[in-house]
Amino acid sequence: MYDIIVIGAGPAGLTAALYGCRAEKKVLVIEKNSFGGQITHSPRVENYPGFAEMTGMEFADKLVEQVLAQGAEMEFDCVEKIEGELGNYKVICTDSEFTGKTVIIATGSHHRMLGLENEEKFTGDGISYCAVCDGAFYRDRTVAVIGGGNTALQEAVMLSNICSSVTIVQNLDFLTGEQKLIDEINSKDNITTILSATVAEILGDDEFKGIVIDVNGDKQTLNVDGVFVAIGQQPENEPFENVAPLNDYGYIVSDESCTIANQTGIFVAGDCRTKTVRQITTATADGAVAALAACKLI
C-alpha cells in the first residue's frame, strides 16, 4: 500500500513525488515512456529560475536523481485504469497492479506533430513546438509557423518581434484565430501568410535546411532557419475518464487547487489539466500543490 501513487514522470509528477517523499510518505511513480517527460527533448532550457542554461535532459536527470534519493520508487508500466476509493485506490497497469491511498495524475500532454520523415531528427535543432521556449534561439533569423489558430498566431506575433521574417503556413483557406490576432498579424510587415498549404517535406541531411509546402498542388520550398509547429496539443487522459471529467479537448477539468470535482483522493498536476500556461515552472508548481493536498488528506 502506497500513500501516493503518481502517474507520469515529467516535471509535475516528479515534483509531486519529491514533496510526497519529503513529507515522509511512501510514494510510487509510474511512467510508460521515459523519466523526465517532454522537456528531455529540449536542447536548451533558459527559463527555469536559478539556472542560466541547461539541457532538458540535464534538468530531468537531476530531478530523477533527487526524487530517488528521497526514497521514491519508480516503475515502467502503462496505466490502463483507476478503480476504488479514497484510502484504497487500485491503479491497474498493463503488466501489474498497485494500491494507494491517493493518486496524482500527471501524464502531461504532447504536441501534435506533422508526422513527416526527419521531424523527430530535427526536433530541437530546426523544429520546435514552443516559441516561448525556443524563440530566442532564432533572433534575426527566418522562421515559419505551422498552424492558423490562436496559439500559432500568438507565436507568430511574438517571433515577429525577434526574427527577421515569419511565414505562417495554414492548411485552411482562412486563419481560425481570433480577429484581434489576425488584425495584428496583418499589421506586421515581416509576417507573410500562406493559406491552403500543408507541409509536404522537411529538408536536410545533417542539418535542417527548410521545408517544402504544398499549396493547392503546387510545391514550394521555404528556406527558413527554423519551423515552429503549432497545430495543437494532445493529452492522454482516456484511461481516467471514469474518475475525472474531461473537457472537449481531452484535458482533465481542474483549477489551481489541482483537485478534481466530486473526487476525493485523486488529484491532477501539470499539462494534462485545464490551464492557461503550460511551462516547466507551472508544471512543478502543480506538482507541489497536488502533493501537499494529498499529504493533508492522508
Q: What pLDDT digit, counting tens, does each position of 123-173 carry? A: 989 999 988 888 999 999 999 999 999 889 989 999 999 999 999 999 999
Task: For residue 56, name the pLDDT band (cuts at 50, 70, 90).
Answer: confident
Catalytic residue among 133, 163, 258, 272, which? 133
Q: Which residues contact 33 (CB under 8 A, 6 or more apart)?
A: none
- Let me know if 95 is a catalytic residue: no
Please state which CATH class domain 2-111+233-297 belongs to.
alpha beta
Of the candidates 233, 238, 224, the residue with the CA atom closest to the CA atom of residue 194: 224
What was the pLDDT predicted at 53? Answer: 86
Query: Is 133 within 8 Å of 65 (Cβ atoms)?
Result: no
In this prediction, what percent of the chain has a pLDDT beyond 70?
99
What is the pLDDT averaged over residues 13-24?
A: 98
Catalytic residue among 61, 130, 214, 295, which? 130
Residues of the chain with CATH 3.50.50.60: 2-111+233-297, 119-229
pLDDT above 70 (res 46): yes
Strand 197-204 to 191-194 pairing? unpaired
Instruction: Tell me the per-residue pLDDT of 181-234, one tens digit each, with 9 for 90 and over.
Output: 999 999 999 999 999 999 999 999 999 999 999 999 999 999 999 999 999 888
Of the candidates 1, 7, 16, the residue with the CA atom closest to the CA atom of residue 66: 16
pLDDT above 80 (res 44): no
Catalytic residue among 134, 225, 271, 286, which? 134
pTM: 0.75
pLDDT above 90 (res 40): no
Task: For residue 277, name the pLDDT band (cuts at 50, 70, 90).
Answer: confident
Query: Is 224 within 8 Å of 211 (Cβ atoms)?
Result: yes
Superfamily of domain 119-229: FAD/NAD(P)-binding domain (3.50.50.60)
What is the pLDDT averaged over residues 244-265?
A: 93
What was the pLDDT predicted at 252? Answer: 96
Q: What does pLDDT average to over the chain?
A: 94
Task: For residue 43, name the pLDDT band (cuts at 50, 70, 90).
Answer: low
Angle at 212 between CA 132 and CA 206, to 5 degrees: 75
